[in-house]
Structure 1
Amino acid sequence: MLNLFVAAAEVRRRVEQVCEKHDLQFSHHNVLRILRGVHPEGHPRCEIIERMLDPSPDVTRLIDKLVDRGLVRRTTSDEDRRMTIHTITADGLDLLERMGPEIREVQRWFDERVADRDLQHLSRICEGIYTGFQDDG
């Protein structure tokens, strides 16, 4: 388990360095990616929390910062006026596009350290850990 923690921390540190260059935190980048995945639709705060890699205790404040920077837009749901929907803006999409090459470089760095067959095995192991995988034999 310790090796898993150390390896994950190293990968995350590299992604965080890319985020810092663009004045973002890791969690900001995660929210932007989540919202890009459903663009042009959006998500209410509760959906964002469910999809986050590392849910923040104060997601509202985290999203407020993205709204203040013009990277996320907050609107009231047409179906339920009590619900707020968050969508990524053109500026948010542009920022992720600019960050893309640097994020892909971290992915290449990772890929260079793990053989393709081991990547598939590692992925299966990780999925088993977080989904309650039971080995069939």
Structure 2
Amino acid sequence: MTETHATISPGAPVFPAGRYGRRRSPGGGRRRTLTAALALLVLVAALSLISVRLYRQYGDPNYRAQVITYTDITDNQLLLDFRVTVPSGGSAVCVLRARDRDGAQVAREEITVTAAPGERHLTIRHRMTTTARPFIGEVLRCRPPA
């Protein structure tokens, strides 16, 4: 006797064993989504901890530098004007760099700047000696003296 819709029970359909592969469990998709969300949460937490650690190590807001201008460019020098913010009356070690038109470094210097008592913002003019004609002058960073 052949089965018709009237003879099949209204429950889940019954398939011949081994014919259509393994059946999925009803909650399998939710478990994978929950696992992926938990892994993403752990990744975000780890990256947040790493960024806080790196900020504490390298990103001190008390020491900021900003290039004002670079002038007097010749084949072997550059005059760099920049502004440094330090703690009141403090000092900083600033790393300066000059690059040529191709981006190669032609000078790199570390200078120490010191603020007068009560002063936080310094305007510095520094002449850099270069090994080739510079194209740009930069302040890479300023940090507390060691």
- TM normalised by structure 2 equals 0.19
Larger Rg: 2
Whichever structure has more helix as a proportion of its residues is: 1
